[in-house]
Structure 1
Amino acid sequence: MPSTRLDPRRVMTSFLLASAVVLAGIGSAHADPADWTQYRHTSTNNPRVVSGVNEIFSGTIPTANEVRATPVVADGKVFVGNHDSGELQAFDLTTGQLLWQAQAPNWVHSEMIHADGRVFVGFGNRFFQDGSEGYRGTGESGVLGLDPHTGEILWRHYTPGEVMPTPVAVGGAVWAVTGDRRLYKLDPGTGEALDVVETGHIASMSSPSERDGVLFFGGGAPAPYTFFAYDTGVDDFAWQREFPEFNRGLDDVPPAVDAGVVVTTANRALIPGPAGFREEHSIVAMDTRSGEIMWRDVLGVGPAPTNNRSGAPMIHDGVVYVGSPTTGAAYAYDLHTGVRIWRNPIGTIKAAPVAVGDDVYFSTTAGDVYRLDTATGATTGILELDGALAPAGPIVVDETLVVPSQSRNVYFVPLAEFPDGPAAAGGSLASLGDPAAPLGSAGEALGAAAGSLGADAGSLDPAY
């Protein structure tokens, strides 16, 4: 019988000690490495995927609508969900041809994760419901289970609030945090709720990062904003940390986890002045076992971002790489000391970057991908594409950069063909843009003009 827990604060000292053992490495068994079981494939948010196919498609795959979730690559296929219209599609990784298309009941911002021969995806939108509950997500919300070969919808689990964060498949279950302030544990075969846990806080876009069976995610309204570590091995919270100083963004950020450190970012809204609505953006690193803050830094102050304020971090070789939609810059920090290594003001960044060797690739809301030197932050190449590249970041599959875009396209760019030099913007691959959807820098300029009020009613959410 599924249980519903009404007290998210119950964390006993004896349980913390037991949980520390699990966090130290005695966790649930992980799925087949060929699967894609969580946001951006790995807890570091740095997806370097080995495809297993002999050849990868190169060029542009047009999808049905805007892409705001990372394309998932598994089993020789590319799985893509669409914002607003909710199409779900699978493409052949070698040819780029459409294999099947299905339909979700609402927006798809969740990745279509692949585990144990099935695909799982969340759906729902960002609008707040009328009524005293204060749930986020109007219309239908929930999680779907699909056949990855045919697109047949095998089950639907409806939730009272949105499932915009990407679910996690771990320990024989599918886990999802929601806009109705809960964490759901679902049976992957039937979609039945095995457990429903009250978190007490809305999850907006903070897809849980899973490491050794523990889920790390941020929660928003009501205050105080709270960060969670939930141990799926014992079905209970390992720890929770309140952040009363933050009032924006903690619930937007999919954290990154590696080497005993979990990193996230969040914002603090400032009193409006002559420059309009402004926010302070910070990065925070915590100990995965206790939640103790190891280091923190203020990235800076800037105009209040519209819609999500993600600034999702990524970890590579002991360094945290993160972009800021508030300050318009990319940063690198030492994972363990918090020493800032470099800063490069390349533009508004919401998505997590991807790193390969000495290169790290950041995508901006203006539609550009910047290749930076991991050691110095120097710009070594720029690729200009059509459509805002947010909030899903680039990934690397074998030796190909895969970039989702709000122009509705997914771009496949061989790393060897990435333009060299800062002057290479709009180089040989500029023609990959979709002439039917000319967004890019013009779209970003419109977004900047809209300022803190945003381009649609969604950005007016009072708790956001």
Structure 2
Amino acid sequence: MNSKLARLAATTILAASLAACGGGGGGNDTGSGAAPGTGVVDPNAKAALTTDDAALNGDAISGVTPALSLNGKIVNSSSHAIRLEELDNNQLFGATRFSVKSDGTFSATLPLQTVPAGDYSGSVRLHLCAVEDCSQDVTGVSATLPYTVHVAPSVPANGVSVLSSATQSLSFEFLPATAGSLEFDVSSGITLPTEAWLQVFSTAPTVAGRITLAADRRTSHVSVQIPADLGSLNPLQGKLNIAVCLDGGCTRHYGPDLEIPWRATAHPTLSALRPLAGTPDWDNTNGNAQHTGYVPVTLDPAAFSTRWLWQNDIGGNVTDSGVVTGNGAVYLRYNQYLVALSEERGATLWSVTDDKTMTGVSAAAYQNGRLFYTRSQLIGAIAQVRALDSATGQPVWQTQDSGDTDSDAPVVDGSGLYANVGSFTRPYNLQTGAAGFTWGGNEAWGNVAADAQNVYIWGDYAPPGIANNARDNVGILNIANKNSAATPRSYAIHNLTAAASTQGIPPVVGSLQEVLMATSAPADGVNYRSNDLLSINTQTGNVNWRHLCRCTGAPAVAQGLVYLADGERGTLDVLDEATGTLVWSAPIGSAVGSPLVTNNLVFVSSKTTTYAFDLQSHQQVWSALYAGKLSMSANGILYIYKPTWTDSTLQNGARATLAAFNLH
């Protein structure tokens, strides 16, 4: 790729009046100004000099002589030259003059002098010349232009690249005859000049790279396209070289290149996708708007097989969320990226990057060919709900509000979308994004679930009369009617074992007119604290039962039983939905995430392994050496997603991993 970012350009619009009377100066203005370059001068007309913009702006590299460009035209003057005068002591511009074409236009190259690195600003003045060598000016015709020039440090001589990346290496599986892409960011220790190019080189096989420079000119996003014909060698490996080039052909580099090693492993040929009867799309967190984690299908563990593995080395913070599925694709969030992968082969279909100023970027929900998520800007300046076309990743609509959002995905079902925006949870129209009424009450904000009639919102806002020092151990369940703007019914749940904050755990709508709520677990899933699993009666607000655990995620509920992962005891626990009594338990090691339940199996993940247990025998019947958030698609594929898998071979220790398994 030869990706030229931006060439220096400077344009301005200037006009100067000249009292006619022979044109002044050397008497050159002696024709009509009906048109430039015609040789006809009107003694009563005014001369003018016109360019495209009002300032000279650009970049330079210390020790490298660049130039600014200036284009325009003159009218009603037969002058053939323009002189530039610098009005300050920066000494950026030497003695510069340039010619005017016969048609009155000019295209000037203004070379800059070699100066130390830094930011320079000042002014220059343009003069129309009365004679060819500009020893004499046309009287009264001049114009002043401000300029701003950033001069980057000279080309490094210490052997260290000015570029760096949290991504230290890239490893991925490729599929025969299937193209893909890898995404990562690079940063610069200096403000990169726009006169430079960024370019991706690689050892064989050749891959194509595209680099987008951010507005701060210190960060860049790299997208590397992996071709379909990687060849027969397995594994393939090489290096990506990210170069800052000083010319379009990249024959001169701005210091050493940034080198990132890569390794690719061929994947076996895959079977065709087949829908699994009775299995819906996994369209919300924990599978549906009620967050039950239940899929009404019967599975045979003997038919399970590995399908594909997707990995991407990442750095920085991640959204520790599961995936959603629909339209033959699986959609996942990591860092600022929302990525669509083919369910059939795991190939990247598209990726969307949210601006890094958007700090509250949520996971996504899926409904009828669209993806929905929320995002907010630092300090709450902007809060948005966004809808994307699931086939292309292109925006369909977005709202514009102020306040905060959170990292929990909005809830969608056939009736609408429900999201935390500002200080309240609101309904939105799925087709247009139009916001409905705002539910008030005890600041109805928090994790959300929905059923056919109501929206359930769990938060930690203290109602009147509760002292601030007790607030952390009080939770609030708000229940809002979907079709009414009435203030939600609000129930305060007192004397919680730990803080009410749910840290990304949604409420679960049970089958016995109750909401199940695991109250406190850390986002990293490692340092667990004691917390409560509550069963709350949705008619009275009374607590039916409490179960003390260190829950690592929301419970799953199906057929009168509640399934939860206990991170401290390292067990899968199964409770009676009506009473909270322990029915059976199975050891799994240090548990993570939420269980996933079918008619005959329960899947649960430890820190290293995902297990399947038979619901009748309570025996383990299957396992896979991948761990994380669990999802199941309508095509009968089990997904295990861990956006923060620790790998000692990586400098930043973070690798997003999505493993796909055929279940039929």
- TM-score normalised per structure 2: 0.46
**SS state of the match for residue 40, structure 1?**
helix
Does structure 2 conserve the Cα–Cα contact (< 8 Å) formed by 1:354 and 1:360? yes
Query: For residues 202 and 183 of structure 1, do their structure 2 counterparts lie closer, same or farther at Cα, with a shift above 3 Å needed?
Result: closer
Say if 2:391 is the partner of 1:144.
no
Correspondent of 1:291 among 535, 541, 556: 541
Offset, 1:380: 3.9
**SS state of the match for residue 119, structure 1?**
strand
C-alpha distance in structure 2 between counterparts of 1:351 and 1:323, whole Å = 7
Offset, 1:377: 4.6
C-alpha distance in structure 2 between counterparts of 1:329 and 1:189, whole Å = 43
C-alpha distance in structure 2 between counterparts of 1:201 and 1:372, whole Å = 41
Aligned to 1:196: 438
CA RMSD of aligned residues (A): 3.4
Say if 2:603 is the partner of 1:361.
yes
Deviates more, 1:108-117 or 1:396-405: 108-117
C-alpha distance in structure 2 between counterparts of 1:344 and 1:139, whole Å = 48
Offset, 1:221: 4.5
Offset, 1:234: 1.9
For 1:39-118, list aligned pairs within 5 A.
Answer: 39-42=285-288, 43-48=290-295, 58-62=307-311, 65=314, 68-82=320-334, 85-105=335-355, 106=358, 110-118=362-370
- AA aligned to 2:285 is Y
C-alpha distance in structure 2 between counterparts of 1:212 and 1:164, whole Å = 24
For 1:254-265, list aligned pairs within 5 A.
Answer: 254-259=506-511, 260-265=513-518
Query: For residues 394 and 35 of structure 1, do their structure 2 counterparts lie closer, same or farther at Cα, with a shift above 3 Å needed?
Result: closer
Does structure 1 conserve the Cα–Cα contact (< 8 Å) formed by 2:638 and 2:660? yes
Correspondent of 2:404 among 148, 161, 180: 161
Offset, 1:151: 0.8
**SS state of the match for residue 502, structure 2?**
helix
Identity of aligned residues (%): 17
- AA aligned to 2:539 is R
**SS state of the match for residue 290, structure 1?**
coil
Bigger fraction of residues in helix: 1
For 1:39-438, list aligned pairs within 5 A.
Answer: 39-42=285-288, 43-48=290-295, 58-62=307-311, 65=314, 68-82=320-334, 85-105=335-355, 106=358, 110-123=362-375, 141-157=383-399, 158-170=401-413, 172-177=415-420, 180-198=422-440, 200=442, 206=447, 208-222=448-462, 223=471, 224-246=474-496, 247-252=498-503, 253-259=505-511, 260-267=513-520, 279-299=529-549, 311-364=553-606, 366-375=607-616, 377-385=618-626, 389=628, 392-395=629-632, 397-406=634-643, 407-415=655-663
Query: For residues 280 and 67 of structure 1, do their structure 2 counterparts lie closer, same or farther at Cα, with a shift above 3 Å needed?
Result: closer
Offset, 1:361: 1.0
Offset, 1:49: 8.6
- AA aligned to 2:538 is T
C-alpha distance in structure 2 between counterparts of 1:190 and 1:397, whole Å = 27
Does structure 1 conserve the Cα–Cα contact (< 8 Å) formed by 2:546 and 2:580? yes
Query: For residues 187 and 140 of structure 1, do their structure 2 counterparts lie closer, same or farther at Cα, with a shift above 3 Å needed?
Result: same
Unaligned runs of 5+ in 2: 1-278, 298-304, 463-470, 644-654
- AA aligned to 1:188 is L
Offset, 1:395: 3.1
C-alpha distance in structure 2 between counterparts of 1:349 and 1:249, whole Å = 21
Query: For residues 372 and 57 of structure 1, do their structure 2 counterparts lie closer, same or farther at Cα, with a shift above 3 Å needed?
Result: closer
Offset, 1:142: 3.3
Bigger fraction of residues in strand: 2
**SS state of the match for residue 285, structure 2?**
coil
Offset, 1:411: 0.8
Unaligned runs of 5+ in 1: 1-32, 51-55, 130-137, 270-276, 301-308, 417-464
Offset, 1:340: 0.9
Does structure 2 conserve the Cα–Cα contact (< 8 Å) formed by 1:267 and 1:281? yes
Deviates more, 1:183-192 or 1:254-263: 183-192
Look at both structures and tell me which one has the larger radius of gyration over its CA atoms: 2
C-alpha distance in structure 1 between counterparts of 2:405 and 2:611, whole Å = 32
- AA aligned to 1:168 is V
**SS state of the match for residue 164, structure 1?**
coil
C-alpha distance in structure 2 between counterparts of 1:343 and 1:250, whole Å = 27
Does structure 2 conserve the Cα–Cα contact (< 8 Å) formed by 1:211 and 1:257? yes
- TM-score normalised per structure 1: 0.64
Offset, 1:64: 7.3
Offset, 1:68: 2.4
**SS state of the match for residue 48, structure 1?**
coil
Offset, 1:140: 5.5
Offset, 1:330: 2.2
